[in-house]
Homo-oligomer: A and B are copies of this chain.
């Protein structure tokens, strides 16, 4: 079965996945661009946004891995854009312009129905109003055997993790503190959820750690 993966998710030393006061001007919250410094200079990130050059190496390999074998994405509504409540119109089409970096179907969680939006490069935004389980089911169908990537933000990731629906988690620990923002780990007990660390490697820009969730069929005592 296709797996649900969180990749390249950046967290500060004090556990924030986004800064305070997220807005149109500061979509990640104040100070939180620094969370992503490890990724911004990589070849993968630059190509994704139509540039060239960029670094290769461990940071770039992790960035690239996040796009390998992905057949669909799931995003929280606040990651799709700053609009809250009912959609006033169809003007907002995401942060990413006419050719977003997804190139797959993207399922956006929202309480407010809206028509799908097909953009250049294969990205289609679908709006899912019947919950995280339904979004995952639709994403899996759309992914046609490939994996599903859970993009964020923090609240969405916490929901899926606590529901036991995530198979792989890659965090990039940025060497900064934000002081305030959206905390990722509050009441989130990853060992109890079955996550086992499978990889860790540090670069000058981030400490990368990967955990895999043991499915119950993997437990020796629970055959």
Contact = CB atoms under 8 A, between A and B. Distances in A.
A73 B195 CA distance: 38
Interface string A179-211: 110000100111110010100111110010101
Chain A contact residues: over half helix, strand or loop, or mixed? Answer: loop
A74 interface: no
A179 B192 contact: yes
B177 A191 contact: yes
A142 interface: no
Given A179-B190, A204-B201, A173 B13 contact: yes
A176 interface: yes
A15 B189 CA distance: 12
The CB with the most chain B CB atoms within 10 A, among A11, A189, A204, is that of: A189
Interface in A78-100: none
Given A202-B202, A202-B204, A204-B201, A14 B175 contact: no
A177 B211 contact: yes
On chain A, which size bracket covers the interface? 20 to 34
A91 B154 CA distance: 49
Contacts of A192: 179-180
Contact of A179 (B177, B189, B203): B189
A171 interface: yes
The CB with the most chain B CB atoms within 10 A, among A173, A177, A191, is that of: A177
Interface in A30-58: 31
A106 interface: no
Interface of A: 11, 13-15, 31, 171, 173, 175-180, 185, 188-192, 195, 197, 200-204, 207, 209, 211
